[in-house]
Structures are given as C-alpha cells and as structure tokens.
Amino acid sequence: MLNYCFFDVNGYPKAAGVTEGNTAPIGSTVLTTAQFANRSNLILQAGSIVTMPTKPSIYHTWSSTGWVLLPVDATRQLTDAMIAQGKILGLAYYNAIQIPVAYMGTTFQSDIASQDTLNKVLVGLNGTTPVGFYWVDAVNAKISMTNAQLQGLAGVMLAQGWTAFQRLQTRKDALKIATTLAQIQAVVW
C-alpha cells in the first residue's frame, strides 16, 4: 500500500489517496503515513515535500520563503481585533461575576449555578425560612440563615455582578472609540 498526493501548480495538496499496490498514480507524490495524515500542512517546493510551520495569523499566506503577511484592509483588521478583544473582555466579565463573595464572616461560592440556586430558594421560600435552615459556605460549612440573610447574600452577589457589568460597559465603550490596533489591545480588564 502506498499513500500518495497530487499537488497543484502552487505546490498545495489537491487530492490524495491510498493504492493497494506498490505503484502510485502518475503525477502524484508518494507520502509517508505521517505525511499523509498531515497532508493539509504540506507543500511541494522544488520537488521536495515541506511541512509548513504554524500559520501566524489569518492575514498570512505561504510562499517559497515562508509565511508572508498579506495586504489586509485596515478596517477589516481593526474589526477583527475589536471582536477578539471583545471576546477576551466578555470572558473576563464572566469570570468576575463568579468570584466567591465575603458575607457574614465567611466566603460563599458565587458561580452561576450557586447564584441560580439561591434565586430559586428565595422564590421558593416566599419570605420565610424553615427552622434550622442553612446555606453552605465555600468550604461546605453549614451557616444558619434567615430569609433576610439569604437576601443579603443575593445582594452581595448582585453588587459584585453590577460592578463587573459597569466595568465591562466602560471597556466596551473604550473599544468603540479605539481607532488603532494599539488602542484596541490596550483595552484590558
């Protein structure tokens, strides 16, 4: 069995296959099993198979000398950078709203699931906690709580989320007015 690949006039792979015999189709190049598995990263240059290094960015193309930066419309590049920076900020916000909170002399988990559970409990309790009711803190210690104390915990979580939300909005506003790549990259959490 032989692995083979046809390369186009620019040296890029265009078709590949495996033969049952010991002869590859005319015009094809024989590949090792490893090359065949990774053929999308190969290029044929001056009759030799070359593995292309990792592409530095979407704005690069392969040439006989290596990766070359393509002429890119500046608006597109800035838009792409804004989108990428916006995603980074969104992730930072998502993490910030889930930081454990200090309340009643201890620390409570404030991840999304904990916040959702607390909201459901507050609705379900309808203003009154049963005798012996508790909430567990970040180390799973049972902390006795009244309905008002549960609302206080929810308020602390809300305050943390509100602060993070305001910070995110400020950063998004800064992104909107950024006009250079350096200005966009300077907008950090």
pLDDT at 41: 84
Q: Give me the mean pLDDT over the 119-141 stretch.
A: 95
**Tens digit of pLDDT for each residue in 70-81?**
777 777 888 899
Residue ranges of domains in the chain: 2-69, 74-185
CA distance 103 to 149: 9
Residue 110: pLDDT band by 50, 70, 90 thresholds?
very high
What is the DSSP secondary structure assignment for residue 61, as one 8-state letter?
Answer: E
**Tens digit of pLDDT for each residue in 26-82?**
999 999 999 999 888 888 888 888 887 777 877 777 776 778 877 777 778 888 999
Q: Which amino acid is at 12?
A: Y
Q: In terms of DSSP bridges, do strands 48-51 and 60-63 run parallel, antiparallel, or are they unpaired?
A: unpaired
Q: What is the 3-state secondary structure (H, E, C) of the chain?
A: CEEEEEECCCCCEEEEEEECCCCCCCCCEEECHHHHHCHHHEEEECCEEEECCCCCCCCEEEECCEEEECCCCHHHHHHHHHHHHHHHHHHHHHHHCCCCEEECCEEECCCHHHHHHHHHHHHHHCCCCCCCCEEECCCCCEEECCHHHHHHHHHHHHHHHHHHHHHHHHHHHHHHHCCCHHHHHCCCC
Total-model pTM: 0.60
CB 53 within 8 A of CB 66: yes
pLDDT at 155: 98
Percent of the chain with pLDDT over 90: 68
Enclosing H/E stretch for 43: strand 42-45
The helix/strand/coil state of 108 is strand
pLDDT at 48: 87
Q: Is the pLDDT of residue 144 over 90?
A: yes
Q: Give me the mean pLDDT over the 121-128 stretch.
A: 93
Q: Give me the mean pLDDT over the 135-142 stretch.
A: 97
